[in-house]
Amino acid sequence: MSFLKIQDIHHTYFSNQTAATALADISLDIEKGEFVSFLGPSGCGKTTLLSIIAGLFPPTSGKILLENNPLKADSDFSIGYMLQQDYLFPWKTIEENVLLGLKLIKKNEGLEKIKTLKLLSDVGLGGTGKLYPRELSGGMRQRAALARTLAVDPKILLLDEPFSALDYQTKLKLEDLVFEILKSFGKTAVLVTHDIGEAIAMSDRIYLFSAKPGRIYKTFEVPDELRELTPFHARNHPHYSALFQTIWKELESLEY
Amino acid sequence: MNIEQLHSQYKTSLKKENRLIRFYQILIFIVFFSSWELFSRMRWIDPLIFSSPSKVWHLFIKKLGDGTLLSHSGVTLFETVLGFIIGTLLGTILASLLWWSPRLSKTLDPYLVILNAMPKVALGPIIIVAFGPGFPSIISMGAIISIIITTIVVYTAFREVDPNYLKVLQTFGATRAQSFREAILPASFPTIISTLKVNVGLSWVGVIVGEFLVSAKGLGYLIIYGFQVFNFTLVMLSLMIIAFFATIMYQLVELLERKLIKD
């Protein structure tokens, strides 16, 4: 039995004039501890799928099972979601921001709090707890957002292009950090990206989506040699460029 | 030339500029009051209509002595502060209800537009008949004048909060009430404060008009009374006291703003 099972997801957005099908026939399985990427051109519905997995809205049809149970948005924290930008609350200190999820379930005291503050130093933000988000750099803020997501100990992490708003150097560093933290906590993760290199460097498997409607066009298994390396080192491995070329060609053929 | 020297030069020039501005501000004050006094004494303006600072001052001392000024000002101030607080509070609560139920907000939309377009002071006579010629009517006037505009402005601010903040909360399984408390309300504080500033002025308008109509007590009553007996010194005195208290209220709101908004 797979950890996360996505079965026959269809999703259509309705408006007064149109009914646009964003996703069709999406079925895939993700095992515990795996890191998979959804890669594809814009408009291929990858973010829609991520939102559906997160339980932000129900799909038009199909179902999603996490450890064999249907997903509910308001159940205990099975899902952690990271957005393109950090969306730290500017009126809260870093510590308050990171404790937000726990506060909502009234567990922000005692042991849970100590664990969370340790998490803050795990992501390299020790001693910044009393600062406000505006006092931190973009990379630091995204790290705080990671700590906020991990604080509630989600079973699966959904990453919606979390590195796309960062400069290249910060992005590379943060990829390594996220990769290592997820491996050390044994977390399962789904990354949405349009960056081929990022998908190869970070994931175990890549789903390439085609657009209109969004379908899984091809699946690529990342070779074991690359999986074991950190994203930064994976980018320098000979297998990396080979896979990059293959995916690049597939993407080209999609866009005509 | 070293950095420290340049820095201290910069600081002196900054101080000089500030001092100059303060000087002009005081100058305007002095020129205004002394020319008012002078023109009135020289009879270039009619002293019966425009009075003069010295007459206003003497009346001020006299009215302060017999206690009438204090009681009238106290009444008006009490009504204004209460009207201001009730108006802002009810407006914000109404905005929260509209945010809570999008269906309610869509339903009420045309009525809000009508109520907002309506000159609220025109409701004065009805309010006075309904609540009687006393405190409750005047406080209602002070409140009603700011409720609808507060509702509209604050509700707009609620809706303009970046939906991604709500998304963050939603992925943590937040309820609607929690989303409101954690994101919507704090994100809208700057707008709420700026409506407070507007409401300070509005509630003075409502209360003074209310006192015009009820004509029993307060600074609005003094203005109407002074007008009827052609005692414009009394009118001028009342106006200055209103200006004084309105400024203090505005300053208090600014103080609150600095406390509440850390940026």
- Establish how many alpha carbons lie within 13 A of residue A59's alpha carbon, considering only the half-sphere containing its beta carbon: 29
Contact status, residue A250 vs residue A208, Cβ threshold 8 Å: yes
**Spans of all domains in chain B:** 3-45, 56-260
| Chain A residue nearest residue B190, CA to CA | A91
Q: Kindly list the residues from chain B whose CB atom is less than 8 angstroms away from the CB atom of residue A56.
A: 167, 170-171
The shortest CB-CB distance from B171 to any of A54, A76, A89 is to A54
Report DSSP state, residue B46: -
The shortest CB-CB distance from A87 to any of B164, B173, B186 is to B164
Partners of A65 in the beta sheet?
A5, A70
pLDDT in tens, B193-236: 889 988 998 999 999 999 998 888 889 999 999 999 998 999 99
Report DSSP state, residue B217: S
Report DSSP state, residue B160: T
Q: Kindly list the residues from chain B whose CB atom is less than 8 angstroms away from the CB atom of residue A76.
A: 173
| Chain A residue nearest residue B178, CA to CA | A104
The Cα-based distances of B214 to B135, B138, B208, B225, B227 in angstroms read 9, 8, 10, 12, 15
pLDDT at position A77: 59
Query: For the residues of chain A, what is the DSSP string, one character each?
Result: --SEEEEEEEEEEE-SS-EEEEEEEEEEEE-TT-EEEEE--TTSSHHHHHHHHTTSS--SEEEEEETTEE--TTSSS-EEEE-SS----TTS-HHHHHTHHHHHTT--SHHHHHHHHHHHHHTT-TT-TTS-GGGS-HHHHHHHHHHHHHHT--SEEEEESTTTTS-HHHHHHHHHHHHHHHHHHT-EEEEEES-HHHHHHH-SEEEEEETTTBEEEEEEEPPHHHHHS-HHHHTTSHHHHHHHHHHHHHHHHHH-
- Tallying the residues shown for chain B, one arrives at 263
- B256: number of Cβ within 10 Å: 12
pLDDT in tens, A36-84: 999 888 778 888 888 888 888 888 888 888 877 777 644 565 788 888 8
ipTM greater than cut 0.90:
no
For residues B220 and B211, give the distance between their C-alpha atoms in angstroms, rounded to a whole number. 5
Task: Tell which CATH classification among 1.10.3720.10, 3.30.565.10, 3.30.930.10, 1.10.10.1200 matches the domain B56-260.
Answer: 1.10.3720.10
Three-state DSSP at B216 gives coil
Q: What is the mean pLDDT of chain A?
A: 84
Residue B173 to residue A54, Cβ atoms within 8 A: no
pLDDT in tens, B151-175: 999 999 999 999 999 988 888 888 8
Which residues fall within 8 angstroms of residue A85, CB to CB, at 6 or more apart? A142, A165, B164
Residue A83 to residue B168, Cβ atoms within 8 A: yes
For residues B173 and A55, give the distance between their C-alpha atoms in angstroms, rounded to a whole number. 10
pLDDT at position B262: 63
DSSP element (H, E) containing B208: helix B185-214
Is any Cβ of chain B less than 8 angstroms from the Cβ of A81?
yes
Contact status, residue B179 vs residue B161, Cβ threshold 8 Å: no
Is any Cβ of chain B less than 8 angstroms from the Cβ of A74?
yes
| Chain B residue nearest residue A102, CA to CA | B172
Residue B170 to residue A75, Cβ atoms within 8 A: no
Before B47, cis peptide (omega within 30)?
A: no
| Chain B residue nearest residue A156, CA to CA | B171
Residue B187 to residue A91, Cβ atoms within 8 A: yes
Q: Kindly list the residues from chain B whose CB atom is less than 8 angstroms away from the CB atom of residue A132.
A: 262
Per residue of chain A (256 residues), give pLDDT as tens: 678 888 888 888 888 888 888 888 888 888 888 899 998 887 788 888 888 888 888 888 888 888 777 776 445 657 888 888 888 998 888 888 888 888 887 776 777 778 888 888 888 887 888 888 888 888 888 888 888 888 888 888 899 888 888 888 888 888 888 888 888 888 889 999 888 888 888 888 899 888 888 888 888 888 887 777 888 888 888 888 888 888 888 888 877 6
